[in-house]
Structure 1
Amino acid sequence: MGGDVVGSVTETVKCLVWDLDQTLWQGILLENDEPQVPEEIRDVIVALDERGILQSIASRNDHDQAWEWLVKLDLAEYFVAPQIGWGRKSDSVRRIADELGFAERTIAFVDDQPVERAEVARFLPQVRCYPAESAGSLPSLPEFTPAVVTEDSRNRRKMYQAGTRRETARAEHTGADDDFLRSLDLRMRISRATPGELSRVEELTRRTSQMNATGVHYSDARLRALLTDPDHEVLVTTLTDRFGSHGAVGVMLLAKHPTMWHLKLLATSCRVVAFGAGAVLLNWLSDQAAMAGTHLVADFRRTDRNRMMEIAYRFAGFAGDACGCVDVITDDPGADGVQRLHLVPERQPAPTTMTVLAPDLAGGRDD
């Protein structure tokens, strides 16, 4: 690959953008060739998909004709946000990054033409560019090898495609927003994390920044120790609707003391903010604490990105000391400067826009 690769290779690629002619397939559509996909390339597409690396297309071709061939070749389902038309490749790659919400440094581009790779590298210097002849070896490269592949990773493409259908339905809905949410048949499941789910939980504490109450990252080892601690609850939240699964969307770390429950961490995925997932979780926890007759305390540390989480806590009724004399939590690694917010919990009504399936923390039995 030599000098063709542009940008840092220390970060895992989140999306690989393919050219079509003489790259993904052999043949040139404009010359009336019948495209053929080498088995090696098909294996690469499947392997990256199973690792949770999304794939897209930036190709100069007639859209309908190219997409028809992708369908015939049983490959269309693997590609999200495809850009097939007659514009510059750099513009296509930029649109893909914007639509997916990915930083350009997490995008890779493969093309058989040096001039096309050079054009992308000029206008998008953080995008990593690879020649077509190296496509077969991409899965062996460290930047295409995530450290951990979770269940959510393996389903990432399907979750994105479900999200696209969901957004289309939202755009077509003409009624109140709550009516649309009820039409989704949302089902939230809160459960005690199992050892097999720890990678998903750890990933949430690492990847979530806007909706992370403290910004503290809990390692797999730290989470594993908490799992076996009888005074702690490690709770993972998943969400599904009529379009499919949202995957793991929330994690709560709760220390249960005789007269106080201490919510050390709440982190939720940004992709479910519009569904009110954070508020539902806080109301459920408040309801559980009220049934247990215990005070509820939550950690919060302001970062440059988590203002929305602070609003969620305040809206749920949590408050710090009015004079600013808040306690500082020092019992967790990396938790310097964390405020202790207080709530006298009250029983809460069930949410009207989703069904919640959850354990009974107050009584110790699962629903």
Structure 2
Amino acid sequence: MAEQTSIVKCLVWDLDNTLWQGTLLEDGEVQLPDSVRELITELDSRGILQSVASKNDHDQAWKQLEALGVAEYFVLPRIGWGPKSESVREIADELDFALGTIAFVDDQPAERAEVRFHLPEVRCYDAGRLPELAALPEFSPATVTVDSRRRRQMYQAGFRRKSAEAEFQGPSDDFLRSLELEMRVGRATEDELSRVEELTLRTSQMNATGVHYSISDLRALLADPRHEVLVTTLTDRFGPHGAVGLQLLEKHAGVWNLKLLATSCRVVSFGAGSVLLGWLVDQAAHAGVHLVADFRRTERNRMMEIAYRLAGFTGEPCDCRAGLPAPAQEDVQRLHLLPAPCAPPPTMKLHTVSLQDA
């Protein structure tokens, strides 16, 4: 029962007499109903990816989708003559989505039965139910974040990036330079709080404490002049990575307490965590304060501990800790660093706020 009410992450469409009215290879001309166009754009705005599994001539069908102005909405389309269950499985595998988060819509009972037989976890819908899909709970995420609304663009950029990396010949640093990476660090806005909460909840390997901050918690921190709630976004020449990092900083006279550092695992290979730490260390050095970073060991965040140690944080005592409130969790370590200025990374352009005058 729980599986049936979980949110659909990707809807896979049949084409003939489902997405459009008519059979392309027989009729030559097909029509896209306004209601279907509206459904496509609505699901896209909710962060639900969409793809295609259709028995058709690939080039002709794709040209028709382009002519109808909706081709851009579909990722990893599978248009050919193989079983649709194979197409749906390939889409799920390449997206790295569990089959239980995939839905399939087709006007033909035999095609739905074939998918259901081979992939029983996939939810199958008759094309006659298209008018009600947007109202169903499985297509209605409780929260739509800033990044949810551009999820398709982020995945499409990721596919292009992955292809370029596979073709690139040379050192990894040269590939990183070729990406033209740009990192932005800014103070969180009200519109970003749902995504910030998501970062505290979903990041595990690169989360310094594993503590979840609710939107109300974050809103209270935003209102406290001692706290900085900092959001990091990343883009490159292929497109956006979205919000990939969070820093919660409490500022005291003579010492800044980094209460949480969390970064998305998607950008570990770009060194985003170490870049963030380097920027913060540089800010603290110019402000003439010590840095204390909270760390709470979990089953999965060993990488974050290594990042702190490589940045120079140690467990050595320092009088600067004396003025800090006790951590909320008893098992939190407080690592210390006396900052020195840090040079910006050669593989990434930084656009940041200044923490010294706030």
TM-score with structure 2 setting the length:
0.90
Aligned residues of 1:15 and 1:106 also touching (Cα < 8 A): yes
CA contact 2:247–2:260 (8 Å) conserved in 1: yes
Q: CA deviation at 1:138?
A: 0.9
Deviation at 1:311, TM superposition (A): 2.8
Alignment of 1:130-145 (within 5 A): 130-145=125-140
Which letter maps to 1:80? V
Q: Once the 2 structures are TM-superposed, how far is the Cα of residue 204 of structure 1 from its aligned partner?
A: 1.9
Aligned residue among 216, 219, 222 for 2:217 = 222
In the alignment, which of 248, 256, 260 is matched to residue 253 of structure 1? 248
Alignment of 1:154-165 (within 5 A): 154-165=149-160
Pick one of 63, 68, 80 that aligns with 2:63.
68
Letter in 2 for 1:364: D
Q: Cα–Cα, structure 1 residues 305 and 17, in superposed 2: closer, same or farther, change >3 Å? A: farther
Gap runs ≥5 in structure 2: 318-324
**Which whole-Å deviations, capped at 9, do the CAs of 1:46-103 have from their partners, x for residues lacking one?**
1111111110111222222221211121111000011222222222222212222222
Shift of 1:167: 2.2
Q: Is the 8 A contact 1:7 1:125 kept in 2?
A: no
Q: Pick from 9, 13, 33 the counterpart of residue 8 of structure 2.
A: 13
In structure 1, the gaps of 5 or more residues are: 1-5, 323-328
The answer to whether residue 249 in structure 2 is matched with residue 263 in structure 1 is: no
Q: SS where residue 360 of structure 1 aligns? A: coil
- Bigger drift between 177-186 and 71-80 goes to 177-186
The residue type equivalent to 2:154 in the other structure is M
Range with bigger deviation, 217-226 or 258-267: 258-267
Deviations 1:178-197 (A, max 9, x none): 12222222211111112222
Alignment check: 8 A CA contact 1:105 1:126 kept: yes
Q: 1:278 aligns with which of 273, 279, 303?
A: 273
**Correspondences of 1:120-199 after superposition (within 5 Å):** 120-199=115-194
Aligned match of 1:234 in 229, 234, 250? 229
The RMSD of aligned alpha carbons is: 2.3
Deviating beyond 6 angstroms after TM superposition, the runs of 4 or more aligned structure 1 residues are none
Show the 5 A alignment for 1:37-76. Answer: 37-76=32-71
Q: Identity across aligned pairs (percent)?
A: 67
Return the alpha-carbon distance in structure 2 between the equivalents of residues 90 and 303 of structure 1. 39
Contact 2:58 2:79 (C-alpha < 8 Å) held by counterparts: yes
Aligned residues: 351
Residue 322 of structure 2: aligned partner: none
Cα distance in 2, alignment partners of residues 320 and 126 from structure 1: 49
Distance 1:99 1:51 in 2: 21
- Equivalent residue for 1:359? 353
Q: Which residue of 1 aligns with 2:283?
A: 288
Cα deviations across residues 278-320 of structure 1 (Å, max 9, x unaligned)? 1100111112222233332222333343333333223222334
Stretch moving more, 17-26 or 29-38: 29-38
Decide whether the 8 Å contact of 1:7 with 1:126 is kept in 2: no
| TM-score, normalised with respect to structure 1 | 0.88
Does 1:343 pair with 2:347? no
Report the AA paired with residue 341 of structure 1: L
Letter in 2 for 1:275: F
1:153 is displaced (CA, Å) by: 1.5
Question: Structure 1 pair 101/303, CA: closer, same or farther in 2 (3 Å)?
Answer: farther
The separation in 2 between residues aligned to 1:349 and 1:117, in whole angstroms, is 58
